[in-house]
Structure 1
Amino acid sequence: MRNDRRGFLIAAGALCAGALLPAYAAAQLEVQQAGTLRVAVYADYAPFSARGKGIDVALAQALAERLGLRAEIVEFPPDENMADDLRNMVWKGHYLGHRPADLMLHVPVDAQFAAQNDKVAIFGPYHLETMAIARNPERVPPVSGSAAVAFEAFTREKIGVELDTHASDFMLHVLNGRLRENVVHFRSIGEATAAMVKGEVSAVMAPRSQLEAALKEHRQFELNTLNMPEMRVKGWPLGMAVKADSKELASALSGALADLQRSGELDRIFATHGITHNVP
């Protein structure tokens, strides 16, 4: 199972709305149940969505409110890749019995990826995610420059990564695999950062938002966003997806998102969860 929500990164590395819509307008939106916006979010994916809380959950609720609808949140387990998730949760239905949602969040906004998934409309970027390294500054200097310079410390220090992710794939193959022996795999980013707190690894590579969330109580560690020539996927906009023919719903959601951005509410949602909001 790919852990980059979901398989998109490894493939790519190899890649004036006002307040609420009037009731009559909300009733005309292509939602499956009148008065309800059914929103699919990933399960167990803090700080975005986990057990009914997180950035994507709060965003879903705010979007539904702007449309005069009630949010119904559906947390689902990721499949092998993002295309499978779009099939399961947007345009067809999930083999575990979930019916499709009206909207799915945390979808990479990428022209090539969108062209490969023409049964959905991908739009509305709301956050720019980036790859980063959290490090113990006593053991690892600031990470910058080319991989040969930035990762020199990992010829002797250990770095943690989550299994089956872009970070794992990159660290195992960069510099012709020279760092492979010092790459330590964990089942989750939480486990990796916990190992760093214990001193078992000196750094962790992962998406910046997840590192910020995992280390919010451990300010002794420092974060460096990665921007090196060897890394083809340095950042990706997160957006949303609806069925390809749900044009009115997509337009209404785009307007609602623009309103959240203008009002500052989107920034507040990220700040409430301790995450730096990066505008795409």
Structure 2
Amino acid sequence: MTTITWRKLAVLGTLFCGLNATMHAAQADLDKVRQAGVLKVAVYKGMQPFSDKDSGIDVEIANALAAKLGVRVSLLPFEAGENLNDDLRNMVWKGHYLGYGPADVMMHVPVDNRLMAENKNVSIFAPYYRERVQLVRDVRKIPGCDTVDCLIGKRVGVEKISIAAMVLLGEQDGKVRESVRIYDTAADAMAALKAGELDAVLANQSEIETAVRGDANFPLAELNFPRLPRQGWVVGMAVKQGNIELARALQAAANELNATGELAKIFAKYGVTPTKP
């Protein structure tokens, strides 16, 4: 029979305590949310149709997730920083230096390997939408459009400081630059299109769909821009690294929302096609 010395018992006890502390820490984040009865959710300001003035797709998903956890939502709306690393630091793992945040979870985070590698303090998971840049045109002014050539001499709206503006202004050495009209938001550009002040708009698919609501006069078309990923980009959620049980609970809740069709209903309410990641 093997003899276990006091020294070995001490080592085993230390290891057990360490493991127990780790397990407790992993559970603590979820326990804290449930004990408080509140899930703090970070959402972007002015990001129609996902989050704007306490409403939108992300806000409704957040409320549905919280309901699955048996708690209520406390929104932490915030302005986008200079880059995503800043947003993740301020809203997920550290908090803003002015004392705002961090939240328990942040919505609308790109599920991207490079972003994950650059941000070891967060866990990105639960993809729920695939976004794309699309062209919407007034068919009465532009009957067909397969390449950017159809936009030459036309009036094309884009949102300032957006991916759409960047790619269109730089496409083929500025081939259609003279056609571009800059607006404060994609929603403003879409309003101008519907009012007859523009011939087309280049914007995110969700921004277009929520504005046109299937109007046959404004069909969507996917133009090929070499600087854009053909499959678009996927968005999900982020929690602080180490908040394992909270991430698992949110993932399970998201899976249930998808399986029951509740997620699709939320997207449909805003006229957006629930494109699977």
Give the TM-score range, shorter chain.
Answer: 0.7 to 0.9
Q: 1:211 aligned to 2:208?
A: yes
Q: 1:233 aligned to 2:229?
A: yes
Q: 1:67 aligned to 2:69?
A: yes
In the aligned structure 2, how far is the partner of 1:141 from the partner of 1:125? 36
User: Residues 273 and 101 from structure 1, CA distance in 2 versus in 1: closer, same or farther, beyond 3 angstroms?
Assistant: same
Aligned to 1:51: 53
Question: Which residue of 155, 170, 173 corresponds with 1:173?
Answer: 170
Post-superposition offset of 1:28: 4.4
User: Residues 120 and 32 from structure 1, CA distance in 2 versus in 1: closer, same or farther, beyond 3 angstroms?
Assistant: farther
User: Residues 162 and 201 from structure 1, CA distance in 2 versus in 1: closer, same or farther, beyond 3 angstroms?
Assistant: same
Post-superposition offset of 1:199: 2.6
Q: 1:265 aligned to 2:267?
A: no
- TM-score of the aligned structures, taking structure 1 as reference length: 0.83
Aligned to 1:183: 180
Q: 1:76 aligned to 2:78?
A: yes
The 5 Å alignment of 1:1-280 reads 28-29=30-31, 31=33, 34-144=36-146, 150-216=147-213, 219-226=216-223, 228=224, 230-234=226-230, 235-280=232-277
Structure 2 counterpart SS, 1:175: coil
Moved more, 112-121 or 91-100: 91-100
Post-superposition offset of 1:94: 2.0
Q: Which amino acid aligns with 1:273?
A: Y
User: Residues 246 and 41 from structure 1, CA distance in 2 versus in 1: closer, same or farther, beyond 3 angstroms?
Assistant: same
Post-superposition offset of 1:167: 0.5
In the aligned structure 2, how far is the partner of 1:164 from the partner of 1:190? 14
In the aligned structure 2, how far is the partner of 1:109 from the partner of 1:57? 19
CA contact (8 A) 1:193 1:214 kept: yes
Aligned to 1:10: none
In the aligned structure 2, how far is the partner of 1:32 from the partner of 1:77? 28
Q: Deviations over 1:104-158 (max 9, x none)?
A: 00001011111111111111100111111110112223333xxxxx111212112
Aligned CA RMSD, in angstroms, stands at 2.0
User: Residues 58 and 185 from structure 1, CA distance in 2 versus in 1: closer, same or farther, beyond 3 angstroms?
Assistant: same
| Identity over aligned pairs, percent | 42
Structure 2 counterpart SS, 1:40: strand
**Greater fraction helix:** 2
Unmatched segments (≥5 aa) in structure 1: 1-24, 145-149
Q: Which amino acid aligns with 2:229?
A: V
Post-superposition offset of 1:95: 3.8
In the aligned structure 1, how far is the partner of 2:30 from the partner of 2:182? 49
